[in-house]
Amino acid sequence: MASWRLPAPPAAAGSYDSVRPGRLNVWYSTFSDPVTGTGYWFHHELVRPVDGAPYAHGWAAVYPPDASPVLERFGPHPLTGDQAAGVPGFRCPSAVATATRLRGRAGRLAWDLEVSAGSAPLHTFPRLAWRRRLLPAVHVVPQVRARCSGSVRLDGQPFPVADAVGAGARIVGRGNAHRWAWLHADLDDDTVLEVVAAVSTLPLLRRLPPLVFLRLRGAGGDWPRGDWRSALGVCGARRFTARPELPAWSVRGRAGGRRVTVRVHLPEAHRTAVAYTDPDGSGATCHNSERADVHVRLERRSAGRWRTERVWDVRGTAHAEVGLR
């Protein structure tokens, strides 16, 4: 069973997931219901401001296929004893998020869902990023191809959720990126694509293009390797490139004899804009869609030519966002 403890060495986890001021902990889950096509987003944050008392807050959002999205916030709440003691998962008076349960209430929305993980954790970022604190934040997906069942209510009306497919992920660090793009897509029954592209808030790195961390998990394992090669373009890999923008963004790159092109579209009618606040008080806006579209082309180098290996075209069930300041 998946745990929402950070799947990293203790020293690495401690370097980010600490009790010091200026730290942000995020638990989020995104799912798509296979029957109705409705997308769901449950986002939970524990914030330790640079100045002020720590607090817990978050939001829930529903993205129906035939109506505008609904997003409701909960909190802020003072830090609870369990949360302060480092008990796995997120807990506050409005919401609970653990490896097996999502439950809460926010405005017009209420939810009670059981969650089961489908495969081993997916390490989006290289281990060195955890050990050396090289980035403002790090990301990992403890629950890949997770299944979610239960009920979500909007104004008291139920949205039955049965065997919805998605993922549960963690972010820890000093705050959000200066700009970012994110994608989670269940491309088919055996293949998952996770992408994080981010520009650091550090002044010296802010002018550089985004670092792109891409993981494609299929029957043959994870590609590319979980190190810096594809992000930096070394040892025969061409650096993966991305440009976070709306309403569409793309990723390109190659590694290990393969290259990939990813095109993501966030439809305006199925998109929400959410204000984020970092521990230092600065702000960003996250444009999220749980009914995004994605087109993926994977090619392999053979006999001196690039030949198409797989093509996926996913409509309305990809999960994506773009963060801007």
Which domain CATH number covers 279?
2.40.370.10
CA distances from 44 to 179, 186, 189, 246 (A): 20, 22, 28, 24
Report yes or no: 163 and 147 within 8 Å, Cβ to Cβ: yes
Buried b (16+ CB within 10 A) or exposed e, 243-269: ebebeebbbbbbbeebbbebebbbeee
Residue 4 lies in a domain: no
Residue 2 lies in a domain: no
Residue 96 lies in a domain: yes
Number of domains in the chain: 1
Residue 1 lies in a domain: no
Residue 127 lies in a domain: yes
| Cα–Cα distance, 66 to 177 (Å, whole number) | 32
Report yes or no: 284 and 249 within 8 Å, Cβ to Cβ: no
Residue 3 lies in a domain: no
Report yes or no: 90 and 44 within 8 Å, Cβ to Cβ: yes
Residue 5 lies in a domain: no
Report yes or no: 69 and 266 within 8 Å, Cβ to Cβ: no
- Cα three-residue angle 206-208-210, rounded to 5 degrees: 95
Place of tokens 């972010």: 171
Residue 220 lies in a domain: yes
pTM of the model: 0.90
Report yes or no: 20 and 48 within 8 Å, Cβ to Cβ: yes
What confidence score (pLDDT) does residue 134 get? 66
What confidence score (pLDDT) does residue 74 get? 98
Residue 16, H or E segment: helix 10-16
Place of tokens 């999502």: 102
Structural domain including 196 reads 10-324
Q: Which residues pair with 6 in a beta bridge?
A: none
Q: Give me the tens of pLDDT residue by residue for the chain, a chain 325 residues long.
A: 344 454 443 333 344 455 678 899 999 999 999 999 999 999 999 999 999 999 999 999 999 999 999 999 999 999 876 665 566 789 999 999 999 999 999 999 999 999 997 778 888 887 777 666 667 788 989 999 999 999 999 999 998 899 999 999 999 888 899 999 999 999 999 999 999 999 988 777 777 889 899 999 997 789 997 665 555 544 444 579 998 999 999 999 998 899 999 999 999 999 999 999 999 999 999 999 999 999 999 999 998 999 999 999 999 999 999 999 9
Report yes or no: 181 and 320 within 8 Å, Cβ to Cβ: yes
